[in-house]
Each structure stands twice: as C-alpha cells, then as structure tokens.
C-alpha cells in the first residue's frame, strides 16, 4: 500500500485518492510512480471496469512539487517531464476509462493529470489552470499539448501565457471539463463509473482507443480505425449478448469477452 495513493475497490470500480493533503497533493516522483504502478496493475485486472481519480482534502492536485523541482538541472528537468508525460500516456492507453473527480485546485501538473483522464468532473469549487509561467517555466507534463487539443489553441494560449485560473463553469464551457456538479464530486464520478461499468467492456475500451489514438489523425485515417474496431466488436461474445438482449428486451449480461 502506497503512502501517497489510496486505492479502494467498489465491485468493478476503483477509487484512487492521492493522499498528500498537507502539500495539496502536489505531484512528486513518489506520486507519479504510485499512479504509474496503479495503472500497470489496472491494465492487468480483467474484472476492472472504471477508475475514479481524486485528491484528499481541498485539492485535486495543486501542481507539481515546486520544492522538489527548484534545483533540477536541465537534464533532470527533462527526465522529470518525461516521467510525468509517460504517466499521462499510460492513463490514455488504459483499457478502462479514468474519471477525474476534481474537488478543488487542479493547477499545473494537476490540470495536466486531469486532462490525461477520459472524463473530467468539476466540483463547484474546482479551479483549473496552467500557471507555470509565474515560476519562469512552461507546462511539462503535457499541458501545452492536451490543453490545446481539448479547448483549442486560442484558449490554451490564454491560460498558458497568463497563468490565470478558471472555475468549474468556465472549464465546462471551454471543454476542459465535461460536467459541473454542486454536490459530492466523487459520488457523481462514481455514478458515471457505474453507468460505464454496466456497458460492454470491450466496446468501452475500443471507443476510448478510437478517440485517443486518432485525435490528431486526418478524418480518413480516423474513420478507417473506427471501422476496424467496429468490426472487431463482432468477434466478441459481448456483441452477441448485447444485441440479443436488446431484441429480447432485457438487460445485457456482459462478460468482457
């Protein structure tokens, strides 16, 4: 059991909670390693259907650990960025969706971590931002790239060059977050996770893969990838069960096979 990441199981769903509340859950090497190891284990878990990621206390993740970065050499900084980027890429490649339950600050590395998740749910007090320019650096865990892909270059430039924060409502309006909730953001994320967990697991995995792997592809390439994954669904028992259940007007019993 990691002392920086708590993992709880609820049936086919896991809740991952970063547990550095005194540091506002700032990302250091230990947290990045713990999240990466959890993702590796999740990929090997055939019964897992969804993950909810959150932070303990009043922050999701308030950024990378500045004290740990202050004295890095350029080479060390590059290695640290590579570690953070590899973590984000691993989240995107996971066969199950990851839902970020943003309960407070998601700044710098925290915003980057949220954007590596598949669905971002913003609590009423959530704050997002890429304020690295205030420290004389730029985002290093994928912020310049994922933010531009999510909200467009114009809005990404606004956030990355000014370092300003945006609240939950603006985050949703610009496409940074999917939903804003007034109540318990983790409970809302869990409700979404349960909805996803009831769907065909292979289909969920393929849909996620089709979107992530072809986000930057031209339309013809993306359509070809979608077509191939659609066809592969028909090699699964879940496809047969799902369509049979629909025609029989009953709930499908998916197995992930």
Active site residue 8: no
Is-contact 54 17, C-beta < 8 A?
yes
What strands, in cross-sheet order, belong to the sheet with 105-107?
Answer: 59-61, 105-107, 127-129, 165-167
Using CA atoms, how far apart are residues 214 and 103, in angstroms rounded to an integer? 30
Is-contact 120 178, C-beta < 8 A?
yes
Give me the catalytic one of 14, 56, 92, 132: 132
Is-contact 110 61, C-beta < 8 A?
yes
Using CA atoms, how far apart are residues 200 and 107, in angstroms rounded to an integer? 34
Is-contact 2 35, C-beta < 8 A?
no
Active site residue 132: yes
Give me the catalytic one of 14, 56, 92, 112: 112
Residues annotated as catalytic are: 112, 132
């Amino acid at each position: 059991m990691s002392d920086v990441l708590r993992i709880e199981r609820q049936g086919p769903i896991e809740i991952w909670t970063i547990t550095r509340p005194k540091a506002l859950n700032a990302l250091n090497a230990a947290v990045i390693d713990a999240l990466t190891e959890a993702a590796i284990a999740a990929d090997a878990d055939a019964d897992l259907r969804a993950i909810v990621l959150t932070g303990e206390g009043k922050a999701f993740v308030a950024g990378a650990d500045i004290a740990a970065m202050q004295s890095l050499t350029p080479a060390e900084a590059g290695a640290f960025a590579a570690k953070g980027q590899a973590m984000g890429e691993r989240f995107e490649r996971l066969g199950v969706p990851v839902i970020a339950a943003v309960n407070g600050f998601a700044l710098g590395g925290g915003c980057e971590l949220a954007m590596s998740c598949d669905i971002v749910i913003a609590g009423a007090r959530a704050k997002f931002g890429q304020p690295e320019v205030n420290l004389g650096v730029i985002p290093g865990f994928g912020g310049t790239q994922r933010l531009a892909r999510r909200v467009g270059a114009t809005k990404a430039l606004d956030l990355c060059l000014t370092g300003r924060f945006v609240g939950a409502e603006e985050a949703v309006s610009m496409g940074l977050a999917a939903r804003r909730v007034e109540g318990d953001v983790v409970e809302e994320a869990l409700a979404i996770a349960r909805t996803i967990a009831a769907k065909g697991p292979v289909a969920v995995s393929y849909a996620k893969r089709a979107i992530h792997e072809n986000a930057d592809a031209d339309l013809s390439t993306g359509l070809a990838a979608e077509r191939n994954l659609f066809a592969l669904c028909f090699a699964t028992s879940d496809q047969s069960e799902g369509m049979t259940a629909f025609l029989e007007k009953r709930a499908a019993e998916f197995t992930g096979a």
